[in-house]
Amino acid sequence: MLGATFAVIGLIAASQRVIGWVLAAATMTGLVYPIVATVARVVHRGLAILVVVIVLGAFAGLVTFESVTGAVASMHRLQRAAPAAAARLERRGRFHEALRSAHLADRTRRLVREAPRRLQGGTPAAALRSATTRSLAFLATGVLFIFFLVYGPQLARAASRQVHDPERRERVERVAVAAYRRAFGYARGCIAMSALAGLVAYTAASIAHVPGQAPLALWVALWDLVPLVGAAIGAVPIIGLAAAGSPARAAVLALVFAAYQVIEGLVLQRWVEHRTIRLGPFLTVAGGFAGIELYGIGGAALVLLAITLAAAVADELAPA
C-alpha cells in the first residue's frame, strides 16, 4: 500500500498538465451543455453540438482578436500617459513630497516599459515556448471539450449504473443533477457579473478619457471574482489615472464604482445565490488563493468550482 501510494502520487504529479486539460474541458462542457440541450430541442443533437462549437469558437476568436488589438493600442497609450500622470502627481499632488521621495514617476515608467515583456512571457524565446505550450493546451482542451459534449451523457449514465441498488442510484442521480445545476448556475452567474463589471469599467474609463481602457477593464473583471470588494479594488488604477488629470473626475469614477459594488453585492449577487447556492466570502477567498498557488488563475477557477460543487452536494444531502 505504501508503494502504491507513492506510485499514485508520482503519477498524478507527472500528469498535472493532462489532468488540468481534462478538468478544464469538463468545466467548459458543464457551462455550455445547457445551451446544447436547448438547441437540441430544435435540431438533431449532433447538429446542435456542431452549431454551438462553431458559434462559440467564432465568438471566442472575435473577442480574443478585439481584446488583443485593443489591449495593444491601450498599452501604448498607457505607456505614454501613466509616467506623465505620475510626474504631475510628484509636482503638484497633495502628497507630492512623499511621492517624489518614493520615485513614483521612475517606478511607473519602469513598470509600463517592462509590462509588455512580462505579458508576452519574458524573452522572445520564452514567449515562443509559452505560445507553443498554450497552443497545445488549447488544442487538447478543445478536443476533450468536443468529446465530452458528444459522449458526456453516456459517461454520466455509465457512472450511475455502477450503483446497483435502484433506490440508491435514483438518489445519487437526483443529488448529482441538482448539485450540477446549482454549482454551474452559480459559476455562470459569477462569470456574467465579472463580464458586467468589466463592461462598466470600460465604459466609465472611456467616458472619463482614461488611457488603457481594455487592459484596465480586464483587470477589473478579474478582480470582480473576489467577493465583497473585488470590483472596488480593481478600479483603483482607473481612479488613480483619472485623478492625475482631474480630481473631480476621479471622485465621480469612485462614486460610480462604489455604486456598482453596492448594486452587485445587494442585488445581483443575492439574485444569483437565491437561484443557486450561497458559497460565502471565506470559502471563495480561501479557495481562490489556494488555486492560484497550485495552478494560477485557471487553478483558482477550478478550485472554486470544486468547492461550489461540494457545497451544493452537502446542501442536497442535508436533512430538510
- Residue 182, domain member (yes or no): yes
Task: Write down the H helix ranges in 93-165.
Answer: 96-101, 104-119, 124-160
Residues 6+ apart with CB under 8 A from 74: 211, 212, 213, 214, 215, 216
Q: pLDDT tens digits, residue range 40-83?
A: 888 888 899 899 889 888 887 776 776 667 666 666 666 677 77
Decide if pLDDT at 124 tops 70.
no
Rg (CA), the chain: 23
Q: What domain range includes position 91?
A: 15-162
Spatial separation of the C-alpha atoms in residues 177 and 159, rounded to whole Å: 13
Q: Please state which of the ranges 39-43, 123-127, 193-197 shows the lowest mean pLDDT.
A: 123-127
CA dist., res. 176 & res. 179, Å (int): 5
Which of 162, 183, 209 is at the close of a domain? Answer: 162
pLDDT band at 217 (very low <50, low <70, confident <90, very high): confident
The answer on 128 and 204 residing in a single domain is no
Residue 5 within a domain? no
> Are residues 205 and 60 part of one domain?
no
Picking from 144, 162, 180, the residue at the C-terminal end of a domain is: 162
User: Does the pLDDT of residue 227 top 70, yes or no?
Assistant: no
Q: Which residue in the block uniquely carries the three cell numbers 469599467?
A: 201
User: What pLDDT does 6 receive?
Assistant: 86
Verify that 202 and 75 share a domain, yes or no.
no
Q: Do both 137 and 175 map to the same domain?
A: no
The residue that leads in pLDDT, 242 or 229, is 242
- What per-residue confidence (pLDDT) applies to 67? 63
Which residue has better confidence, 155 or 230?
Answer: 155
Take residue 231 and report the three cell numbers written for it. 470590483
Instruction: Kindly report, residue by residue over 134-173, the tens digit of the pLDDT.
Output: 777 788 888 899 999 889 889 988 988 888 888 888 898 8
Q: pTM for the complete prediction?
A: 0.71
What percent of the chain has a predicted confidence (pLDDT) above 90? 3
Q: What is the mean pLDDT of the chain?
A: 80
- Alpha carbon of 81 to those of 76, 99, 245, 257: distances in Å? 9, 17, 10, 22
Q: Note whether 124 and 194 are same-domain residues.
A: no
Residue range 125-136: mean pLDDT, rounded? 64
Q: Based on the domain organization, do 146 and 181 belong to the same domain? A: no
Residue 146 contacts residue 53 (beta carbons within 8 Å) = yes
- Tell me the percentage of the chain whose pLDDT exceeds 70: 80
| Same domain (yes/no): 177, 235 | yes
In the chain, how many domains are there?
Answer: 2
Same domain, 211 and 299: yes
User: Is 10 part of a structural domain of the chain?
Assistant: no
| Cα 5 to Cα 11: distance, rounded to the nearest angstrom | 10
Both 211 and 226 in one domain: the answer is: yes
Q: What is the pLDDT of residue 224?
A: 82
In angstroms, the CA 62 to CA 68 distance is: 10
197 plus 250 within the same structural domain: yes
Tell me what pLDDT residue 297 has: 64
CA separation for the pair 255, 39 (Å, rounded): 42
Q: Are residues 139 and 190 in the same domain?
A: no
Do 192 and 277 belong to one domain? yes
CA separation for the pair 229, 257 (Å, rounded): 10
pLDDT tens-digit map of 260-297: 888 888 888 889 888 888 877 777 777 777 776 766 66
33 part of a folded domain: yes
Q: Is-contact 81 211, C-beta < 8 A?
A: yes
Residue 9 lies inside a defined structural domain of this protein: no
Looking at 118, 144, 162, which one is the last position of a domain? 162
